[in-house]
Structure 1
């Protein structure tokens, strides 16, 4: 058996020990959705399995739970119950809903928080699972994910480019991070490089160099590499950047960060920003819902 076959066998063995759940609207949206190398379950079913002594089997190694944007911060009880299973619990949160006291409440209830762009929570879950479970010439596993995600709030971004332009793929991956995420002072990064069979491992090395140029010198970088025969001449980069700062852009009607009065939208040529009639604070980036 080849080394790649060994890794594939290990990933298949782990498949049943990673569970994907949803809360609120995501309980229905993820119902029946198939995830490679993971199984789907409702939160109630998973908790019932854990409390049923006759069920047998091993407890999950990790639980990835998608949070409803409308109820982020209000579902800490089921999150705490999931964390009580002893599994590594990751809450995937739409970045636009992670403001105010919501995000700290979620952080307090789980092991790790992963911000997703817009409403692309399912896509973020798939990218995260692929990063930590797909076999490769340099493998990343759940232990690596725990190491990185323990550094603080994380965000996920993906990017692709021609196989001869690894720096462009890295730029695209950082550009794909959720709006409002600042990765410059990230404390840890998980990097997965996906290449075609003809691409040299030197391309993966170039990716890591390009990633390090975008973050702090002391950040912990853990990387892996995967060969995808369907990738043709394209190179892909998946990033999980942890210990990031996050300040969701504001929208009209939100309180002014300076005085608290409602913000208003105004245009200056083709540019649209926010301003406050109360204190004159202006030039604020507009949130796109």
Structure 2
């Protein structure tokens, strides 16, 4: 069995080789928020400068800190508007970077902009309610945490290169019938996928299962089985698992499903699916209904909470 020290060394080997990028100083990637990763804007990365002097791995005085050749992956948080020069030119600038470039976009981005981003990155990841920063942290935790089965960047490249991907996390208490906990955690993770994502036909998935010391490792295989029931029958599922002593009485699942169908919910002002005219919103209590004044298309409900 691999020793815990060896597992720790494997995880630590990623330190400094992963860079979390904002396009030009976006608040979506606050310095210091991503342990084991450097933080920089795209121009800083390409020029060899660093935006996080407080990170020992990213000390501007360290000759290796700005070594572009040492970058294994660049996770780029992209915020709307995605059209125009700002975001797309930044991604174009990373084209010659010999690294795995993942563009992380917020939920609700329109499919045309998402397609333009995808053409300029090795992989595209849709974030959930927590936005790109939370999605990036979830991704990094999955590929950095040492465990009894490890995920790494090569696994991520294999899965995410198949198509647009989305990330979701779920944690449940292991109370009552403990056998139900893995499936419930998977349900919670899929429930936190970005709105508009349909994972049913996903052709690949990364799954990271975290259990407490009292939970059987078999819970991980139960969680994987529950994931397989929700995606394509022939999907490539790559999984990892870890024991976390701080996760008392809980089981957690991080899932990244790739090659998903994506149709973001419509909003007022969006083009009508039938005629292209801007949709209008009409309120009815706690709900809104979208309709088109031009062609009469209607009945699109929006939950306003």
Q: Is the 8 A contact 1:73 1:102 kept in 2?
A: no
Q: Is the 8 A contact 1:24 1:71 kept in 2?
A: no
Instruction: Give the match for residue 157 of structure 1.
Output: 168
Q: Which of 135, 148, 151 lines up with 1:124 in the alignment?
A: 135
Q: Give the count of matched residue pairs.
A: 285
**Alpha-carbon contact 1:186-1:215 (below 8 Å) kept:** yes
User: Do the aligned partners of 2:105 and 2:127 also contact (CA within 8 Å) in 1?
Assistant: yes
Residues 73/93 of structure 1: CA separation in 2 closer, same or farther (3 Å cut): farther
Aligned residues of 1:72 and 1:103 also touching (Cα < 8 A): no
> Normalized against structure 2, the TM-score is what?
0.86
Distance 2:283 2:303 in 1: 14
CA apart distance, 1:69: 2.1
Match of 2:33 in 1: 34
- Whether 2:124 is the aligned partner of 1:113: answer yes
Deviates more, 1:207-216 or 1:64-73: 64-73
Deviation at 1:142, TM superposition (A): 0.4
- Equivalent of residue 261 in structure 1, options 274, 277, 287: 277
Once residues 42 and 29 of structure 2 are traced to their aligned partners in structure 1, the CA distance between those partners, rounded to angstroms, is: 11
Aligned to 1:250: 266
| Separation in structure 2 between the aligned mates of residue 101 and residue 205 of structure 1, nearest angstrom | 37
Q: Where does the alignment leave 5 or more consecutive residues of structure 2 unmatched?
A: 50-62, 175-179
Deviates more, 1:17-26 or 1:226-235: 17-26
Whole-angstrom CA distance in 2 between matches of 1:76 and 1:287:
32
CA distance in 1, matches of 2:67, 2:171: 43
CA-CA distance at 1:245 after TM superposition = 1.0
User: In the alignment, does 2:199 pair up with 1:183?
Assistant: yes
TM-score (norm 1): 0.91
* Matching of residues 72-151 of structure 1 within 5 Å: 74=85, 75-97=87-109, 99-118=110-129, 120-151=131-162
Within 5 Å, which residues of 2 pair with 1:212-223? 212-223=228-239
Q: CA 1:56–1:252 in structure 2 vs 1: closer, same or farther (change >3 Å)?
A: closer
Determine the C-alpha separation between the residues in 2 that align with 1:4 and 1:72.
Answer: 46
Counterparts of residues 199-218 of structure 1 (less than 5 Å): 199-218=215-234
Q: Find the counterpart in structure 1 of residue 16 from structure 2.
A: 16
TM-fit CA distance, 1:269 = 6.2
Is 1:193 the counterpart of 2:228? The answer is no
Aligned partners of 2:163 and 2:223: how far apart in 1? 23
Distance 1:151 1:2, change over 3 A: closer
Following TM superposition, by how much is the alpha carbon of 1:237 offset from its aligned partner in structure 2, in angstroms? 0.5
- Tell me which moved more, 55-64 or 139-148: 55-64
Deviation at 1:29, TM superposition (A): 4.5
Equivalent residues of 2:25, 2:41 under 8 A apart: no
1:56–1:101 Cα change, 3 Å: closer
CA distance in 2, matches of 1:36, 1:83: 26
On the 8 A contact 1:249/1:287 being kept in 2, the answer is no
| Aligned CA-pair RMSD | 2.4
CA contact (8 A) 1:73 1:105 kept: no
Match of 1:171 in 2: 187
- SS of 1:129's equivalent in the other structure is helix
Check the 8 A contact 2:211/2:244 in 1, yes or no: yes
